[in-house]
Amino acid sequence: MVRKQEERKFLLYFFFFFPISRKIIFEKQWFYLDNAIGHIYGTTFEVTSGGSLQPKKKVEETATETKEAGTDNRNIVDDGKSQKLTHDDIKALKDKGIKGQEIVQQLIENSTTFRDKTEFAQDKYIKKKKKKYEAIITIVKPSTRILSTMYYAREPGKINYLRYDTLAQMLTWGNVHAGNKMIVMETCAGLVLGAVMERMGGYGSIINMYPGGGPVRAATNCFGFPESFFHMLYDFPLSRVDSVLSGTFSLKTMPSESEDSMAVAEDSNGSGDDKQQSVQDADIECSTVLAMESNQPEEQEVVDIPTEGEAFDINKAKGTVCDKQKKQEERRKKLIESAALLKDKDVDGLIIASRFHPAPLLLSLLEFVAPSRPFVVYCQYKEPLVECYTKLRERGGVINLKLSETWLRSYQVLPDRSHPKLMMSGGGGYLLTGITVINEAIKTGDNTEQAAIQPASKKRKLEEHL
């Protein structure tokens, strides 16, 4: 008796990020998402011959033809001659519009070895053929579990081999919840940042530390967060952390707006004296507009009227420069707000998951964390976290330090054949967790040994008194 098999479901987490009438290729299946617009999450579609999606109707499946199963598979020879249907025959069936379920049934009927297989082998054969010929797609809502699973299965190097169970522990140990003020330093394509944003639900504030010129948020954009979620997100470069700690933070070291706008205009329009002059004129005009918007008076300079041939290039340069300057002004405001949040040094949690060595990052960012708050550091290897553990013990100011590794193994749960899966992940990385406290040794100027001797002497005095 052939058992009823579950339909294969494609998990489309990028549903809202593709334009209409664009051909989507997903696991060797191509289709268009036009007909999916307007349906709720969880709707199951069937891909037709033209690549369009049609909602699948809930119809009771007819019972598959009953066949006696063989006792074992020892006499079955996999020589490729057991199937009577050729590749051209299967293609002809598809051209006629025959659905995948009917194709699978015909493959079963034209197989000379199907009835000789065991019941488990028959189920495996049907599942394999359904996976190949049935095009069933279910659109689900993006979530941390789905995205982390897919990234780890497809491109684990982009997320530093961060496994989904390890990510779940990071959120738990970090005490991430709505209303928190969190610092997130990660180079996992934005997966950790997106998980924190999802857990906080748009309430609180997140300071995203990033190296280089800007943050990478490929995975964060796949969550489909509303715009309100990004109002709580603040970006801050790692290169300016020391200036905030020393109290010398300033925006003067940032590149000037005119230089950036000049580079953008030259890249789009080419180099030349005339075009350079037009870009400078556009820069002056945009600076005037921005100054008027911010109620800061600025002198306006006279700009020469261009010829008709140069009008299009100049207007294009003006639009590019204005957009660039507006983005820079918004970035500067966000940067000032981020620095103000860090100066208070009352952050509720710290999460680090970076490809860089975690020791200098942890020691510098812990200065912003308030006492009695948790911190979590992830690393693919154990040795860097051992160094962090040693340095924190010498430094003080932390308790409940714990270095852990999670061992995860998946199980196949089926009737009469439940067992651990043969293929499993080699490792999910390591976590260093702890809780910050007030470091009295640093506060009073004493060394660590003296700070440790004082509680011991007080304890002896108390025992003598008792």
Backbone angles phi, psi at 141, to 5 degrees: -75, 135
Residues 239 and 284 in one domain: no
Average of pLDDT values for 145-166?
91
User: What integer pLDDT is reported at residue 277 of this predicted model?
Assistant: 47
Instruction: Count each helix (H run) and each strand (E run) in the chain, helices first.
Output: 15, 15
Both tokens assigned to 360: 């200098």
Residues 156 and 242 in one domain: yes
The band of 401, judged by pLDDT with boundaries at 50, 70 and 90, is very high
Q: Please tell me which residue, 465 or 244, carries the higher pLDDT value.
A: 244
The band of 20, judged by pLDDT with boundaries at 50, 70 and 90, is low
Kindly state the percentage of the chain with pLDDT values over 70: 71
Its domain, for residue 49, covers 10-138
**Region of 111 on the Ramachandran plot (φ > 0 left; ψ -120 to 50 alpha; else beta):** beta
Residues 155 and 242 in one domain: yes
User: What integer pLDDT is reported at residue 460 of this predicted model?
Assistant: 53
Residues 318 and 362 in one domain: no
CATH number at residue 382: 3.40.50.150
Residue 416 maps to a domain: no
The answer to whether residue 35 scores a pLDDT higher than 90 is no
Of the candidates 138, 165, 188, which is a domain's last residue? 138
The band of 376, judged by pLDDT with boundaries at 50, 70 and 90, is very high
The band of 316, judged by pLDDT with boundaries at 50, 70 and 90, is low
Give the pLDDT confidence of 101-120 residue by residue, as tens digits.
Answer: 788 888 888 887 888 888 88
Residues 234 and 316 in one domain: no
Residues 18 and 134 in one domain: yes
Secondary structure of residue 290 in the 3-state scheme: helix
The answer to whether residue 307 scores a pLDDT higher than 70 is no
Residues 265 and 242 in one domain: no
Residues 16 and 91 in one domain: yes
The count of structural domains within the chain is 3
Burial class (CB in 10 A: 0-12, 13-18, 19+), 301: exposed
Cα–Cα separations (whole angstroms), residue 123 to 69, 88, 111, 118: 11, 25, 14, 9
Burial class (CB in 10 A: 0-12, 13-18, 19+), 126: buried
Q: Are residues 208 and 184 in contact, defined by beta-carbon separation less than 8 angstroms?
A: yes
Q: Are residues 381 and 226 in contact, defined by beta-carbon separation less than 8 angstroms?
A: no
